[in-house]
Amino acid sequence: MGEGATFDPHKSQNARLDGTGRFGDKEMALSMEPLAMAEPYRAEPLPPRDGSLDVSANHYWHYHRLEALLACKQPITASQDEDLFIAVHQICEVAFHQMIGDLERTLAALAIALDAQERPVGDTAEACYFLERVVRLYEVVNATMPILVSMRAFGEFRSAIGPTSGFQSFQFRHLEILSGVAAPYWRGGTRDARGEVHPAEAEFDRRYGTQVAGWLAKHREHNLAHYYRRLLERATGAEVQTRLAALFTHPGATCLLRLLFRYEQQQTHFHRGHLALAVRQLAMVGASAGTGGTAFQAYLARYQREVEPLFAGLGPEDEGASAGVPGGGSILGR
């Protein structure tokens, strides 16, 4: 097992992802273990932000804005499956929204922990608290998306929905940038034989291009992958594996590395699970291009080819994951 022997990895989480997203009982129990050794948090009651609010009228349906929320699901056709198609995307987008907020909190806490005098890292409890939540939400996304695998009526509404495509998910791009995707690998993915981009991409760039450029600039050195590299730099050892082994003797670093591993596992799971879903559904409707205009099989493999791994040396366990890393191989994967 080499230098990682001090760390007792979650074996199941190193297993090759098979797209089912299912956890066994033992693994579930492990995943429920508190990961961070946090100081007790004192939760003091806060007043409503708006002092004039009549909280006696704050009923469940009002507080969670249920009527407005449910009114957001508006199928274009009479298909009895289109509502599910929209609902699954909306569930994922609501999860993405929460993940972005929690990932921003994680990064702020990481910046402080990695600026601390203490080596290899200061207190990581805050970062682990928020990152664990992000991982659990990613699990929700990855458990929700496959509901569409068995959807039988895509052909009823696909031709009616225009250029809409997950390719245009600005929240997903934001998440990717926060996690450390430094180059917009998706750009030009919809180019046709004449070199023209599809309206799905042109319109996305017109509407969100400036924001995306802003995120890329803001997070160039403020993202998970960057802080993972900073953590490695602060550990002793000549090679990545030696440094990781040293970090796994430190509880705060261990908690963080386990969560980063799980985060990347979920991100990889998303890309591969989604590719399998698209292959299945597009085969059912006999399409060779996505509604967003990509030759989807080649395009959807881009992330794997051009970006993975985010955290070199840590996993996930697959042949290419740590290619080029001195001392290569995944310490968690053995």
Cβ(113)–Cβ(127) below 8 Å: yes
Name the minimum Å distance from CB 298 to ligand HEM. Answer: 10
Judged by beta carbon, residue 88 or residue 114, the one nearer ligand HEM is 88
Q: How far is the CB of 204 from ligand HEM (least distance, A)?
A: 10
Could you give the string, one character per residue 100-119, with x where binding to ligand HEM holds by CB under 6 A and - elsewhere?
--------------------
Interaction mask 183-222, ligand HEM, x per CB under 6 A: ---x------------------------------------
Q: Which of 130, 248, 299, 311 binds ligand HEM (CB under 6 A)?
A: 299
Question: What is the smallest separation between the CB atom of 18 and ligand HEM, expressed in angstroms?
Answer: 19
> Least distance (Å) from ligand HEM to the CB of residue 198?
7
Binding residues for ligand HEM, rule CB under 6 A, total 26
Instruction: Catalogue the E-assigned strands of the chain.
Output: none
Of the residues 35, 36, 86, 92, which one makes contact with ligand HEM according to CB under 6 A: 92
DSSP character at residue 123: -
Q: Cβ distance 85 to 154 under 8 Å?
A: yes
CB of 236 closer than 8 Å to CB of 246: yes
Contact between 332 and 9 under an 8 Å Cβ cutoff? The reply is yes
Contact segment (CB under 6 A) with ligand HEM among 30-38, 49-57, 163-171, 309-317 equals 163-171
Q: How far is CA 239 from CA 244, 318, 326, in A?
A: 9, 20, 6
- Using CB under 6 A as the binding rule, whether residue 129 contacts ligand HEM is answered as no
293 binds ligand HEM (CB under 6 A): yes
Query: Residue written as tokens 């708006």?
Result: 50
From residue 19, alpha-carbon distances to 125, 136, 156, 266 in Å are 31, 16, 26, 10
Residue whose C-alpha is closest to residue 179's, from 206, 219, 232, 142? 219
138 makes contact with ligand HEM (CB under 6 A): no
Q: According to CB under 6 A, which one of 35, 88, 107, 127 is a site residue for ligand HEM?
A: 88
Out of 128, 278, 314, 321, the residue judged to bind ligand HEM by CB under 6 A: 278
Q: Is 311 an interacting residue with respect to ligand HEM (CB under 6 A)?
A: no
Question: Residue 272 to residues 18, 29, 97, 275, 277: CA-CA distances in angstroms?
Answer: 9, 25, 21, 5, 9
Phi, psi of 309 (to 5 degrees): -90, 155
* Residue of 277, 307, 331, 332 that binds ligand HEM (CB under 6 A): 277
CB of 75 closer than 8 Å to CB of 157: yes
DSSP letters for 34-93: ----PPPP-------SSTT--GGG--HHHHTTHHHHHTT---SSS-TTHHHHHHHHHHHH
Closer Cβ to ligand HEM, 111 or 153, answer by number: 153
The answer to whether 294 contacts ligand HEM (rule: CB under 6 A) is yes
Instruction: List residues binding ligand HEM (CB under 6 A).
Output: 88-89, 92, 145, 148, 154, 165-167, 169, 172, 186, 274, 277-278, 281-282, 290-294, 296, 299-300, 303
